[in-house]
Structure 1
Amino acid sequence: MRSDEETKRIVFEAARHAFAVDGYAATSTEELARRAGISTKTLYRLFPGKAALFEAMCADRLERLLSDVNLQANDAVDIETGMGAALLACADLALDPEVVALQRMVLQESAAFPDLAANFYKNGISRTAIALAGWLRAQVKKKLITIDDVDEAAGMLIGMVASAPQRAAIYGGKPLPTCKDIERRARTCAAIFLDGCRPRAP
């Protein structure tokens, strides 16, 4: 006998593939149960409906990805290196192929199912910004940077490091940047944020 947690993992895996291939609206709970190898009765016992399953699936996947995002302040590195590493962690999450695929599906289905977008934002996008704001707040306390509104700054930074490549992939059909490209982008964004881009006076 499988535990409920193990069964949920199997359902999440089946749901990810089904939603990615067929879309949210076209995927029935019966199809999800069949793909997971369980009865619809078991599926409904674990999840009240398809919307609850989608929310739980997103939360589970993003939780796993977020657990790998280390934004702990490291006193052994300078602020430029630390900010570059923090932005790289956020960009790696935002530009993960599975996260981008989920975002593409949410955008396609959001008009008919507005709760999908709200849940994706709550479970993913906002949590990444909160984590980065916490890192920025720690740097402010150490007097390494001065920011009036760390939450606003976190949103600006994530937009700068990840939004353009995301849009290019979702709307323009462009490939996602390579790991090397993401690293370079994170370093550039950190430098622009910390130093600006006006030429220094001689």
Structure 2
Amino acid sequence: MRQNHETVKRSRGRPQKRCDADTLHLIVEAADREFQSKGYAGTSIMTVAQRAGVSTKTLYKLVATKAELFERTIQDRIGRFLLDVVDDVSDDLDPRAALEHILFAFGVLTLSPETIAITRLVISECERFPEVARAFYQSAIVPVNGIIEAWLTTQKDKGLLRFDDVHITSGLLRGMMIMEPQRTAMMAQRGAPHRDEIALRARQCADVFYNGCKA
């Protein structure tokens, strides 16, 4: 009695290539680690490509210059902060709770060891490489300030908070949240704060600010 056997078809040829978006993500992650450990001047496109597991030709196809690569690492970090705030801070959320959430997300972003390392890089190398300072300012400081100022403006327009100048108020709020722990960490007087420390600081800053500015 003859038995029938199914034939298993195997795919032939080269394995499917990664899409450009996935490859770019690997490159940006590799570049972020290289910039943190070696600085801007010490980072080369070749070592980034090797760390990412791609050829320099592939890297240059997706990112034209080292300055653009640095800017993309900043944008990737800031993008996570923006998504966190936009997704979790709704109009229905109590303003005091929303403020604490924004400050916590801002603290996690700016007080992480990775961001502190990048901030040190920018300060130490901005005179030699002005494109570094420009990328950091335009891709990090401006959009983060914009999110906080937009939220403050909305609360003022609703009559929930009172203050004169939104830009000055945002700067005071951001400074209260991060200046002291960021400064001590950047001067190597202590390590970056843990999440529970950041959460406590966000709660206390939210209390002080909200009680002082509520209408």
The alignment's C-alpha RMSD in Å is 1.9
In structure 2, the gaps of 5 or more residues are 1-16
Measured against aligned partners, the alpha-carbon deviations of 1:66-99 in whole angstroms (never above 9, x if no partner) come to: 212246354452x433322322222222212322
Q: Which residue of 2 aligns with 1:112?
A: 128
Query: How far apart, CA to CA, are the structure 2 residues paired with 1:83 and 1:50?
Result: 36
1:72 to 85, 89, 101: 89
Q: Provide TM-score, normalisation by structure 1.
A: 0.86
- Does the CA contact (< 8 Å) of 2:78 and 2:144 recur in 1? no
Q: In structure 2, give the amino acid aligned to 1:182.
A: I
- Does the CA contact (< 8 Å) of 2:81 and 2:106 recur in 1? no
- Does the CA contact (< 8 Å) of 1:73 and 1:135 recur in 2? no
Query: How far apart, CA to CA, are the structure 1 residues paired with 2:78 and 2:98?
Result: 23
Q: In structure 1, give the amino acid aligned to 2:211.
A: D
In structure 1, the gaps of 5 or more residues are 197-202
What stretches of structure 1 move > 6 A for 4+ residues in a row?
none
Query: How far apart, CA to CA, are the structure 1 residues paired with 2:148 and 2:156?
Result: 12
Q: Which residue of 2 aligns with 1:38?
A: 54
Q: Percent identity among equivalent residues?
A: 39
Query: How far apart, CA to CA, are the structure 1 residues paired with 2:210 and 2:77?
Result: 32
The answer to whether the aligner puts 1:123 opposite 2:124 as a matched pair is no
Measured against aligned partners, the alpha-carbon deviations of 1:17-75 in whole angstroms (never above 9, x if no partner) come to: 22222221112222222222222222222111111111112112221232122463544
Q: In structure 2, give the amino acid aligned to 1:122.
A: Q
